[in-house]
Amino acid sequence: MSDRKTVSIKGVDDWNDMLWILAHREAQIYMNDDKWYVLVNNPCSFYDPARGCLIYPKRPRICREHTWKDCEYKEDYNFDLHFHSYEELERFIRNNVVEE
Ligand code: SF4
């Protein structure tokens, strides 16, 4: 299961924080219905292919709130915005974000 998290982006600092996230290998950010999410494209260290979740009874809240049915990892979603790399987001900021 991929993890996702809401990110608030109201100003320049938030855009800069998003660049920091995308400086990390395999991280992606997407926006859907005016909410931002971080997509972690790495397998969870607690997932065992034979036994499933090794910490199931005490798995984190984000795991409890999502099922494999709405996992972005396997589906081909059409997000409103989707950034796969630092350079892609940097280009978007340069061309689309206006300082207030
Ligand atoms: S902790 Fe368990 S439920 Fe949560 S992502 Fe890892 S394997 Fe999946």
pLDDT at residue 73, rounded to an integer: 65
Helix (H) or strand (E) holding 20: helix 12-22
Please report how many Cα atoms fall inside a 13 Å half-sphere around the Cα of residue 79, on the Cβ side: 19
Segment 25-39 shows an average pLDDT of 88
CA–CA dist 46, 56 (Å, integer): 9
**Does 79 or 59 have the greater pLDDT score?**
59
Ligand 1: residue of 5, 48, 59, 69 to mutate (most ligand atoms within 8 A of CB) is: 59
User: In ligand 1, which atom is closest to the CA atom of 44?
Assistant: 6
For residue 52, pLDDT over 50 is answered with yes
Query: What mean pLDDT value characterizes the chain?
Result: 82
CA–CA dist 23, 78 (Å, integer): 23
pLDDT at residue 75, rounded to an integer: 65
CA–CA dist 61, 83 (Å, integer): 25
Residue whose Cα lies nearest atom 4 of ligand 1: it is 63
pLDDT at residue 1, rounded to an integer: 47
Helix (H) or strand (E) holding 36: strand 35-40
Hey, what are 16's tokens?
């800069």
Domains of the chain, by residue range, sit at: 6-91
Segment 62-66 shows an average pLDDT of 87
55 CB within 6 A, ligand 1: yes
Helix (H) or strand (E) holding 87: helix 86-96
Segment 27-45 shows an average pLDDT of 88
For residue 96, pLDDT over 90 is answered with no
